[in-house]
């Protein structure tokens, strides 16, 4: 029998960010509990800042009856020579809750064993719900939690009401010392009183009438419709930041997008400062016209009123002092200019000195790279010198996420070269999964220098990531190095990093850093993992070369025709597994006895005599030897008694394998 099931957990306002981080796990956690209790079914999860709701349109009234089987000791052990039950037999009977006489026999593992089967009647769902809901709530992970009243249990916010109904009947449960009741609460502006709920249908109607938009998707749709209306009416463009939109959906029950404004004098501030002030502190959406930031903003209100003018006015009053503070900081920073005074007192990392020490190390790295890649050394040096200066600015102290960006504005204000200012701005690129990369060679070198110094420096003081822990984002730094190097086609060998840069740091096991970088390469490329393994096994440590090889080999391995070639080239690798690839692999045509040997040797000689413009064309040529290799394996016995002929034949196959191995070790490939 099926009934509806409504579970509503009423809470004080949930903070948006922790809720959104846990959101992807909530349904999975409830599904797992349903499955454990043999009650798995379809359901929907809804939320507002004041409630968590699980809605089941069809929920089983009870668990299904089941059969439980018990297998005991072999009969030969369960009874002695006189046929009396042993302790093993008596213990099994107690486990089954029956007498020895009621035990049966069955076969298991080829032996006759004690056996008992009993029918287990399914429990009623309403008797299970209290423990299930308590288990579910305790499984939710929002980070910090709190206690209230005399409770020893904690949750992210106090629980204020609980409503659990199967069809129209209340299910009595207690959660965080709150007993369930057939009541709910609507938007506070509409009413502070509890509303009686006679049925699930009535529940949804009560919320709708009480100005609570229960469904997150509907709240999002409503906000976006408001946005479109504002844009059309005022000929403006609203920046629809998805993360910010998720937040306002999570903190509103009755969302209404409103257009506000601020004094045009504040537009003297860099746009990023205004946007940061609006987003970070107020959750406002910036507004543009023809690509330029305007003195408008959009706030998504949760108010319930016929006149929103006071709401707009209140938000405008809140924003003004924040922008005034920003303008004050900005003007002070411009007066001070970009200088490193004070950075010598700021510790970078224990054991690695101050930020000034980091700048000096980065400068040495950057100048080596500038020389290697033919980039303007003066611009690179000046960029690094000023790269961390804005860390002492009042603006970056207030908005840490603007470091680098503010430095670029201040650099331009003091007439620094435009490319230097750009390099200061782009020194932290790429950030996370953001695809944006440094846009010039100067910027690329400055960004590489800061990542290389951080990477080598942290390894030199034994701050190495372990497991999922990576507090200094070294994995991200390696990903950034890979992307920048490949984007600029820089000749960058990770082994040579040791001789080029590592003498500036305390001695450490460089092999650990090299392995760390290679491990990141394995994670970086979204291709068949064996392709990466094959390329790395070839021994090349130049990031650009590794990139080109992986892409070339993956293109071939991913093709439909490769599976036909696979066995042939695996055989090449297997035959040569005991051959020393560093030894003399010369082949004598005078020792050829079979026509297939001559054909393979001729085809291989033609392949290796050519120059190739890419790894892909080179690999294509080597893989084109499949017909000759197949004929060779069909017609020629390699392990013959004549040692000279045997060695000659092995050398021929090994030469083919060695040519592959110069690009990628084909024995590592799996499909």
Cβ–Cβ < 8 Å for 449, 358? no
Q: Quick one: DSSP state of residue 438?
A: -
- Rounded distance between C-alpha atoms, residue 244 and residue 546, angstroms: 39
Mean pLDDT over all residues of the chain?
Answer: 93
pLDDT band at 174 (very low <50, low <70, confident <90, very high): very high
pLDDT of residue 573: 85
pLDDT of residue 614: 93
pLDDT of residue 581: 81
Report the candidate in 419, 425, 384 with the shortest Cα–Cα distance to residue 407: 425
pLDDT of residue 565: 81
Mean pLDDT across 574-602: 88
Most confident of the ranges 278-282, 438-442, 571-575: 438-442
Percent with pLDDT over 90 in the chain: 82
pLDDT of residue 576: 84
* pLDDT tens-digit map of 182-231: 999 999 999 999 999 999 999 999 999 999 999 999 999 999 999 999 99
- Rounded distance between C-alpha atoms, residue 427 and residue 439, angstroms: 10
Collapsed DSSP state (helix, strand, coil) of residue 192: coil
pLDDT band at 578 (very low <50, low <70, confident <90, very high): confident
Place of tokens 């953001």: 434
pLDDT at 120 over 90: no
* pLDDT tens-digit map of 581-592: 878 888 999 999
Query: 396 CB contacts (<8 Å, ≥6 apart)?
Result: 390, 402, 403, 406
* pLDDT tens-digit map of 345-361: 999 999 999 999 999 99
Report the candidate in 211, 167, 236, 226 with the shortest Cα–Cα distance to residue 5: 167
Q: At what angle do helices 16-36 and 125-139 cross, to 10 degrees?
A: 140
- In sign, the C-alpha dihedral spanning 78, 83, 86, 89 is positive
- Of residues 77 and 295, the one with the higher pLDDT is 295
Strand partners, 286: 297
* pLDDT tens-digit map of 613-649: 999 999 999 999 999 999 999 999 988 889 899 999 9
pLDDT at 662 over 80: yes
Collapsed DSSP state (helix, strand, coil) of residue 376: coil
pLDDT at 432 over 80: no
Q: What ranges in 461-589 are assigned the alpha helix state H?
A: 474-488, 496-501, 510-524, 529-537, 543-557, 562-575
pLDDT of residue 563: 82
pLDDT at 384 over 90: yes
- CA 251 from chain centre, in angstroms, equals 25
Neighbour count for residue 496 (Cβ, 10 Å): 13
- Rounded distance between C-alpha atoms, residue 570 and residue 553, angstroms: 15
pLDDT of residue 566: 85
pLDDT of residue 294: 98
Query: 83 CB contacts (<8 Å, ≥6 apart)?
Result: none
pTM for the model: 0.80
* pLDDT tens-digit map of 47-80: 999 999 999 999 999 888 878 889 999 998 899 8
pLDDT of residue 320: 96
Mean pLDDT across 531-535: 95
pLDDT band at 538 (very low <50, low <70, confident <90, very high): very high
Strand partners, 45: 54
pLDDT at 434 over 80: no
pLDDT of residue 387: 97
pLDDT at 467 over 90: no
pLDDT at 159 over 80: yes
pLDDT at 569 over 80: yes
pLDDT of residue 33: 96
Mean pLDDT across 454-458: 95
Query: 236 CB contacts (<8 Å, ≥6 apart)?
Result: 230, 259, 287, 288, 289, 294, 296
Neighbour count for residue 240 (Cβ, 10 Å): 12
pLDDT band at 499 (very low <50, low <70, confident <90, very high): confident
pLDDT at 232 over 90: yes
Report the candidate in 50, 37, 40, 209 with the shortest Cα–Cα distance to residue 124: 37
pLDDT of residue 83: 87
* pLDDT tens-digit map of 233-283: 999 999 999 999 999 999 999 999 999 999 999 999 999 999 999 998 899
Mean pLDDT across 406-419: 97
pLDDT of residue 584: 85
Query: 3 CB contacts (<8 Å, ≥6 apart)?
Result: 58, 59, 61, 166, 167
pLDDT at 600 over 80: yes
């Amino acid at each position: 029998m099926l009934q509806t099931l409504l579970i509503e957990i009423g809470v004080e306002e949930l903070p948006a960010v922790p809720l959104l981080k846990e959101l992807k796990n909530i349904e999975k956690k409830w599904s797992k509990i349903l499955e454990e209790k043999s009650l798995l079914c379809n359901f929907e999860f809804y939320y507002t800042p004041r409630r968590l709701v699980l809605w089941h349109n069809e929920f089983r009234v009870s668990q299904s009856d089941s059969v439980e089987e018990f297998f005991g000791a072999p009969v030969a052990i369960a009874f002695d020579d006189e046929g009396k039950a042993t302790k093993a037999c008596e213990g099994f009977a107690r486990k089954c809750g029956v007498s020895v006489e009621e035990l049966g026999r069955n076969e298991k593992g080829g032996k006759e064993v004690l056996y008992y089967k009993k029918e287990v009647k399914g429990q009623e769902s309403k008797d299970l719900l209290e423990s299930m809901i308590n288990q579910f709530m305790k499984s939710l992970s929002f980070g910090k939690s709190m206690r209230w009243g005399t409770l020893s249990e904690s949750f992210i916010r106090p629980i204020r009401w609980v409503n659990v109904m199967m069809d129209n009947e209340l299910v009595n449960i207690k959660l965080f010392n709150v007993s369930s009741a057939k009541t709910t609460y609507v938007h506070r502006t509409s009413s502070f009183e509890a509303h009686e709920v006679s049925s699930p249908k009535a529940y949804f109607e009560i919320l709708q009438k009480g100005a609570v938009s229960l469904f997150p998707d509907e709240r999002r749709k409503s906000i976006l419709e408001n946005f479109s209306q504002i844009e059309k009416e005022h000929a403006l463009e609203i920046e629809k930041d998805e993360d910010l939109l998720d937040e306002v959906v999570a903190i509103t029950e009755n969302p209404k997008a409103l257009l506000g404004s601020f004094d045009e004098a504040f537009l003297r501030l860099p746009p990023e400062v205004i946007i940061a002030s609006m987003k970070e502190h107020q959750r406002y959406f910036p507004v543009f016209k023809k690509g330029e930031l305007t003195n408008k903003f959009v706030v998504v209100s949760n108010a319930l009123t016929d006149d929103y003018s006071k709401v707009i006015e209140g938000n405008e009053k809140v924003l003004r002092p924040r922008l005034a503070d920003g303008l004050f900081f900005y003007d002070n920073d411009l007066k001070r200019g970009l200088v490193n005074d004070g950075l010598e007192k700021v510790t970078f990392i224990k054991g690695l000195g101050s930020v000034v020490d980091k700048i000096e190390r980065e400068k040495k790295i950057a100048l080596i790279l500038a020389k290697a890649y033919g980039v303007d050394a003066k611009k690179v040096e000046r960029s690094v010198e000023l790269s961390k200066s804005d860390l002492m600015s009042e603006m970056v102290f207030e908005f840490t996420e603007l470091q680098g960006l503010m430095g670029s504005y201040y650099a331009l204000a003091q007439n620094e070269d435009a490319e230097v200012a750009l390099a200061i701005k782009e020194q932290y690129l790429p950030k996370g999964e953001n695809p944006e990369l440094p846009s010039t060679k100067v910027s690329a070198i400055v960004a590489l220098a800061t990542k290389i110094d951080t990477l080598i420096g942290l390894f030199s003081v034994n701050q190495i990531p372990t497991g999922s822990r990576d507090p200094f984002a070294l994995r991200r730094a390696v990903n950034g190095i890979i992307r920048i190097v490949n984007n600029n086609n820089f000749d960058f060998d990770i082994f040579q990093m040791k001789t080029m840069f590592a003498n500036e740091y305390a001695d450490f096991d460089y092999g650990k850093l090299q392995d760390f970088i290679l491990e990141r390469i394995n994670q970086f490329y979204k291709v068949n993992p064996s392709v990466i393994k094959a390329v790395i096994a070839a021994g090349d440590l130049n990031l650009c070369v590794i990139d080109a090889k992986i892409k070339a080999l993956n293109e071939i391995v991913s093709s439909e025709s490769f599976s036909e070639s696979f066995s042939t080239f695996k055989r090449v690798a297997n035959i040569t597994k005991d051959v020393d690839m560093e030894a003399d692999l010369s082949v004598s045509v005078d020792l050829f006895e079979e026509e297939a040997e001559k054909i393979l040797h001729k085809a291989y000689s033609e392949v290796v005599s050519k120059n190739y413009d890419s790894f892909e064309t080179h690999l294509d040529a080597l893989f084109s030897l499949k017909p000759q290799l197949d004929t060779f394996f069909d017609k020629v016995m390699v392990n013959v008694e004549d040692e000279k002929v045997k060695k000659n034949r092995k050398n021929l196959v090994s030469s083919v394998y060695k040519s592959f191995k110069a690009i990628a070790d084909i024995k590592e490939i799996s499909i």
